[in-house]
Amino acid sequence: MKVGLYFGSFNPIHIGHLAIANYMVEFSDIDELWFVISPQNPEKSKATLLYDYDRYEMVERAIKGFDTMKASTVEFALPKPSYTIVTLTHLSTIYKQYEFCLIMGGDNLCTFKKWRNYQYILDNFKLYVYSRPNYDIPSEFKNHPSVRYFNAPLMEISSSFIRQSIKKNKNIKAFMPQDAWEYLEKMNFYKT
């Protein structure tokens, strides 16, 4: 079985994340997509990051009804900060019967050479890259045999926009899956 790993803080998950995930499941050769919730991205500030299991709960609620999507807490038990290579190696050891590929936006591909052990990832895993506005594919990856490109529909929505809007007391529930939004509201996240 081929599993696409979609890494992120999902702080919070929004309809843009779901649209990309749904597109990748339906229009690529992956059988399942796992949302890998990152407890601490080494490239991002931790100041506004919700507790790991609250973000997991929102992802679980967001993907309810999508049989080909799962939420993964695998990084919660791994050393911090979270590095993709550590997670990929860990998952490949546990799930030897699965073929894993990494789902990422073109913006991440632009900085991919800065990732820890990026060459090992490139040599051992496929990268499924969806386009992002204002990012050109680096020339060394344009025809690389481990990199596949997808024109997934994009929405100009970000988790930081959602957090900032909530802090300003804006009703933006249309930007999130309903069950995830209801949990966020119930818990009063991002309001202070």
Q: Position of tokens 């290579």?
A: 85
Residue range 5-44, pLDDT digits in tens: 999 999 999 999 999 999 999 999 999 999 999 997 656 6
Looking at the domain assignment, is residue 110 inside a domain?
A: yes
Residue 176: C-alpha distances to residues 106, 145, 158 (Å) = 23, 35, 11
Which residues does 45 contact at the CB level (< 8 Å), separation at least 6?
Answer: none
Question: Is the predicted pLDDT of residue 90 greater than 70, yes or no?
Answer: yes
Query: What is the arithmetic mean of pLDDT over 56-71?
Result: 98
Query: What is the arithmetic mean of pLDDT over 170-180?
Result: 97
Please state the domain count of the chain. Answer: 1
At residue 59 the predicted structure's pLDDT band, cuts being 50, 70 and 90, is very high
Query: What is the arithmetic mean of pLDDT over 141-156?
Result: 93
Helix 52-62 with 178-187: angle, nearest 10 deg:
150
Residue range 127-143, pLDDT digits in tens: 999 988 788 888 899 89
Looking at the domain assignment, is residue 185 inside a domain?
A: no
Quote the domain boundaries for residue 93. Answer: 2-155
